[in-house]
Each structure stands twice: as structure tokens, then as C-alpha cells.
Amino acid sequence: MTSVVVRLITAIWCWLKKDVFRIVYLLTVLCLTYMVLKAIKLYQWRRKLNKALQSFPGPPVHWLFGNVHEVRLKNQKQLSCIERPPALWLEQRSGSQDLLRYNPRLLTLQGPKWFQHRKLLTPGFHYGVLKPYVSLITKSTQVMLDKWEHLITQEKSVELFGHVSLMTLDSILKCAFSHESNCQMDRSNSYIKSVYEITYQINYRIWYLPYQIDFIYWLSRDGRRFQKACEMVHLQTDKVIKERKKSLKDERELEKIQKKRHLDFLDILLCAKDEKGDGLSDEDIRAEVDTFMFGGHDTTASGICWTLYCLAMYPEHQQKCREEIRELLGDRETIQWDDLGKMPNTTMCIKESMRIFPPVPFVGRQLSKPITFHDGRYLPEGTLVGINIYLIHRDPSLWKDPEVFDPMRFSPENSSKRHSHAFMPFSAGARNCIGQQFAMIEMKVAIALSLLRFEFSLNPAKIPRKIPQMVLQSKNGIHIPRPFEPERLLVGPVKDIYIYLF
Ligand code: HEM
């Protein structure tokens, strides 16, 4: 066999005789053959896929682009795509691929590398690590509530999402690497501006870009701004990693540190080792800090805002939660770890809000092997599948009167009767949200403390306009204008906040 290959190469070499024309000719033939083979492969794969897709209801599938155009259509159109059955729709590519450019590891890794990272990161979400975060989140929430108190006496209308998003960013910076940014009070900080630039670009722009114009984006003004913002954030993270490495050599030092201060995610990441004793590289650590920061803060902010919106719509549930919190905390205005498990009504309201308004409305998966459903329908390996959490949560075969806000759906008795995947705001299976406990803690603390200080009500004339990007948001924000009855501000600890949704 080897001699045949050698003879073939020698024959070709003799034929070429260092003739440039012949070399170019050969290269062209090779390139064309490669392209033709690729095109045949792509055509065969698309034929197979289109045949398989015919048995699924859904919008017509373009022979080359699949449903990619419908998936990336902006705002209102995007929403109508989401509201239209089927709950499972198929696209040519996964949106999260876009994120590869800024590279948050765990979210985008595949196979054994993902498994290794997931295993190394899991201890960072152990309850012993999360416990001290409750007081950090409480402090960040207090700053936000103080700000609201001040703002509602001054301004006609205050946009809620911006403040909540800053609060969740403040919390994640404290918990991820003990960074005291003061970002809620001072937004002039260039580091915070960069974080916001990245969040904005990920949520509003990158999501819609098809592969074809990726490189044009890179050359554009937005692309350069995005790249600059990434560099700025990474520079800061690298600085913190370098400093922390001096004081933290290995896992044995974690206990010593824990006696002095709380452990943050960075401590865990720096000390993480697998069975072979391999840890994460500095680059991996930096990328995981990105994952926490950008996977963390806007999703939780969305969850908090939509819960406040639901409670404003349903004052009877709001009052029930407030009474529960008052009874639990007494004179205290702080939340402790043990309190978190003792607010069933508030927890059920948060879950019901996440059912109706899931902060992450859809997720994408690429099939690593073919799949045959129980009814015989089939999808080939490599298919990109969009799982529409928003629609699953409103499926009448799973939820009776799905549009009705009924927190009692989440009572232990009612929950046990339901399919385990009927409610999946944090996705499900091996790649579910690693930060879900953290997110639930943050939402409980923020909602409970907000209810203690303010009463939320809604202007029924203004309804929110949902825009499902990476994170479900209201197109025009969530506004809290100055109360109409200021004298009630003076009575008791509960103040009035009216939420308007323009
Ligand atoms: C209400 C808040 C949150 C919601 C609704 C949420 C939802 C989700 C969902 C649906 C996924 C699956 C994504 C996919 O499959 O493409 C996910 C993954 C992930 N989330 Fe969250 N998340 C929240 C908060 C957080 C927080 C606070 C953190 C970090 C501190 C976090 C870190 C992650 C990470 C690292 C992954 C990737 C996990 C993996 O692939 O193994 N999330 N999240």
C-alpha cells in the first residue's frame, strides 16, 4: 500500500516537473473536487433533514437556510414566531454559537471538555459557598431600594429593569470575585460601561447575525466597540486572577481563607482540580468568570422584574406574600439563609411568574446522535433543535388555563402530579442551569425586601411589549412613576410604587 502511494506521488511529481501552470492546474482540480464533494454531502444531508422535518408541523423550511430567517427576525416578528406552534421548531444553526466569539466556556463547550468544566465548577454552587452570598445580595438590594425611595420622590417615572439589572450585576461582581464596583451609584466607571456594552451587544445584536455577515460585523463600528469592551473586561479579570494567585496556591488554603472572608467563585475556579490533578488554565478561568457575569445578571434581573410585574397585576397575591415576609422577618430588614426555605407563597409566585415569563424563552441543542420519538418520528444526527420553553410553559395539555396566574400550581401536591419537564425555566437534563440555586436565592431576597418596602400596582392602560432576545424583556422597559398619593408614603413601612409598562 505504502509503495503504491509513493509511486503515485512520484508519478505526479514527474508530471509536474516544477511547471507552475501544471501545479496551479492540479490545485484547482483538487479544490473543485473538494467543493463538489462538500456540496454533495451538504445536499444529501439537507435532503435527509428536510424529509425528516416534513413530519413535524411548522413554518415552511427553506432548502438551504432552514428557518434561520424566522428565528432571527427582530422584535415583534420574533415574538410571533415564538407564540406560534409548534413548541419544537427547527433551525439551521444555534444562536448560542454566536457567543463563541466572546467565549463563555461552560455555556458553549461540548463533549468531554464541557463535562470536565461542569465538574470543576459544580463545587462553586455548593450551599456552603452560596450561604454567605445571601448577605451580599441583601446589601445590593438595599442599595437599589434606597435609590428607588429617593427617585420616586423626584421623578415622574423610573425605569425598573435598568436598576434591577445593575443590582444583579453588583451582586454577581461581589460573589464572582469580591469586586466592590459601586456600579449601582456610579455608572461612569469604564469597566462597568464595558460590561454593559457586552451585555447589550449579546442581547440585542449578535443574536440576530447570520454566519454570512459575521466578519462584516467584526469590521463594523459595533464590532470594534464590542471587541474593545471584551478587552477591557478581560484586562480587569486578568489583573484580579494574577493578584489572587499570589495568596491562593491550592485547595488546602480555601479553609484558611474561609475563616477570613467568604469564598467567591474565583477562589473555587483557581483551586478546581479533576481526578488527574488537572486544573483550569488562566484563559479558561477568565472565560468562566465571563460566563457567570453575563449568564448571571440579566437573566436574574428579568426574573425579578417579571415577578414584580405579575405581583402588581395580582394585588391579592402580592399582599399574601408581603404578609408572609412580614411574619417571617418581624422587625428585621435583612434576609438570612434560613429564611429562604420559609417563604412558600413568595417562592410559588416567583415560579408562576417564571412559567408565564421565562427569562430564557428558548434554548438550542445540536443532536449528537439520531433521535426517534415515541410516535416514530425521527431526526438525524447534527440537527439543530430549538426548544421553546415559553410555549411549553403555556401548553394547555400540560397547564390548565395556562394564561391564568395561579401560584398554587406549584404547591408540593400539584407539582408532584405534573411531568418533570413541564416547567423548565432553567432548562433540564445534564446541561441545565448550573446557577439556578444562586438565581433563586437572589430572586427571593430581592422580591421579599422589595415587598417589605413598597407596594406595587399597575396602570392597566399600559401593557408590556415582550421582546424575547437571549433574555425575555419588555421593549420599553418597566417604569415605576411617582406615586399618585404621596401621603401614603408617610404611613407605615410600606411605600407605594406604581409600575407602568409603556
Ligand atoms: C433566573 C435566572 C436564570 C435563568 C432563567 C437561567 C436559565 C438558564 C438556561 C435555560 C440554561 C440552559 C441554556 C442552554 O441550554 O442553552 C442555563 C445555563 C447556564 N446558566 Fe443559567 N439561568 C439563570 C441564572 C444563572 C446564573 C445566576 C448563573 C451563574 C451564576 C447561570 C449560569 C449558567 C451557566 C454557566 C449555564 C451553562 C450550563 C452548562 O451548559 O453546563 N445562570 N441557564
| Ligand 1 atom 32: residue of nearest CA | 435
Question: To the nearest whole number, what is the mean pLDDT of the chain?
Answer: 78
Residue 296 CA to ligand 1 centre (angstroms): 7
Q: Containing H/E element for 3?
A: helix 2-16
Contact assessment for residue 251 and residue 270, using Cβ atoms and an 8 Å cutoff? no
Model-wide pTM > 0.90: no
pLDDT of residue 183 exceeding 50, the answer is yes
| Burial of residue 476, with CB atoms counted within 10 A of its CB: 0-12 exposed, 13-18 middle, 19 or more buried | middle
- Record the cell numbers describing residue 497, joined without a space: 410604587
Residue 172 CA to ligand 1 centre (angstroms): 13
Per-residue pLDDT tens digits for 424-464: 999 988 889 999 999 999 999 999 999 998 888 775 655 66
Per-residue pLDDT tens digits for 10-61: 887 787 776 777 778 888 999 999 999 988 988 888 788 778 877 777 667 6
The better pLDDT of the pair 405, 203 is held by 405
Q: Which residue has the cell 454533495?
A: 40
Where are the chain's structural domains?
Answer: 93-358+393-499
Contact assessment for residue 365 and residue 85, using Cβ atoms and an 8 Å cutoff? no
| Ligand 1 atom 2: residue of nearest CA | 300
pLDDT at position 413 = 95
Can you tell me which atom of ligand 1 is nearest the CA of 176?
A: 30
pLDDT of residue 252 exceeding 50, the answer is yes
Q: Which residue has the cell 432548562?
A: 427
Q: How many CA atoms lie within 13 A of 34 on its CB side?
A: 6
> Which of 201-215, 241-255, 473-487 has the largest mean confidence?
241-255
Residue 302 CA to ligand 1 centre (angstroms): 13
d(CA 25, CA 95): 40
Residues with a CB atom less than 6 Å from ligand 1: 96, 106-107, 118, 291-292, 295-296, 299-300, 303, 359-360, 363, 425-427, 431, 433-435, 438-439
Per-residue pLDDT tens digits for 354-401: 999 898 888 877 788 888 888 888 888 877 777 888 888 988 989 999
CATH for 93-358+393-499 is: 1.10.630.10
* % of the chain at pLDDT higher than 70: 75
pLDDT of residue 85 exceeding 60, the answer is no
Residue 435 CA to ligand 1 centre (angstroms): 6
- What is the identity of the amino acid at 286? R
- Record the cell numbers describing residue 476, joined without a space: 420599553
State the distance between the two ends of the chain, measured CA to CA, in whole angstroms: 74
**What size, in residues, is the chain?**
502
pLDDT at position 466 = 61
Average pLDDT over residues 291-297: 78
pLDDT at position 206 = 55
Residue 299 CA to ligand 1 centre (angstroms): 8
At residue 360, the 3 state secondary structure works out as coil
Reported as a pLDDT band with limits 50, 70 and 90, residue 499 is: very low
Can you tell me which atom of ligand 1 is nearest the CA of 427?
A: 10
- Record the cell numbers describing residue 68, joined without a space: 434561520
Per-residue pLDDT tens digits for 103-116: 556 676 778 888 88
Q: Kindly report the number of other CB atoms within 10 A of residue 252's CB atom.
A: 8
Q: Which of 299, 437, 441 has the most ligand 1 atoms within 8 A of CB, as the residue to mutate?
A: 299
Can you tell me which atom of ligand 1 is nearest the CA of 302?
A: 1
Q: How many CA atoms lie within 13 A of 207 on its CB side?
A: 22
Residue 106 CA to ligand 1 centre (angstroms): 10
pLDDT at position 75 = 37
Can you tell me which atom of ligand 1 is nearest the CA of 425?
A: 5
* % of the chain at pLDDT higher than 90: 25
The better pLDDT of the pair 117, 107 is held by 117
Question: Which range is least confidently modeled, 327-331, 408-412, 465-469?
Answer: 465-469
Q: Which of 433, 440, 469, 473 has the most ligand 1 atoms within 8 A of CB, as the residue to mutate?
A: 433
Contact assessment for residue 431 and residue 437, using Cβ atoms and an 8 Å cutoff? no
- Record the cell numbers describing residue 349, joined without a space: 409566585
Can you tell me which atom of ligand 1 is nearest the CA of 424?
A: 10
Binding annotation for heme: 433
Binding annotation: 433
Question: Which range is least confidently modeled, 143-152, 154-163, 419-428, 448-457?
Answer: 154-163
pLDDT at position 111 = 80
Reported as a pLDDT band with limits 50, 70 and 90, residue 216 is: low
